[in-house]
Amino acid sequence: MSLKSVVTGAKLCVVPLRQAAAARLSTSARHGVNYAPVPKPLQGKMKLFQIDNGLPVHIRGGPVDKMLYAVTAVVCTVGLIECFHVYYVLSYPQKKD
């Protein structure tokens, strides 16, 4: 078996693998996938959230988002306090008389 035949055999294996990898990476461009049009209300929301106005994403929706953020923070805080309460009760059980 000569070196030339080994190199030729390796090229026969490598080229199809490269072509297959390239096909997997760019399947949407090759097949021309057509997506559904984006509805107008959703386009407006997309524009709102992509504007660089210095606000974090979770409060860009206005007062409703601020209220939801506050409620979520309160619920998480109460849950964390309850977790520590359960750990305390399980660590120091009451003695039975």
The tens digit of pLDDT for each residue in 18-72 reads 666 665 655 555 566 788 899 999 998 888 888 888 888 877 888 898 899 999 9
Q: How many domains does the chain have?
A: 2
Maximum Cα–Cα distance across the chain = 91
Same domain, 51 and 76: yes
Alpha helices in the chain (DSSP H): 3-25, 27-31, 40-50, 63-91
pLDDT for res 48:
82
Q: Which residue has the tokens 């055999």?
A: 9
pLDDT for res 75:
98
- On whether the CB atoms of residues 58 and 69 are closer than 8 A, the answer is yes
The residue type at 10: A
Same domain, 66 and 80: yes
Same domain, 2 and 45: no
Q: Which domain holds residue 23?
A: 1-35
What count of other Cβ atoms lies within 10 Å of the Cβ of residue 61?
15
Q: How confident is the model at residue 83 (pLDDT cuts 50, 70, 90)?
A: very high
pLDDT for res 46:
87
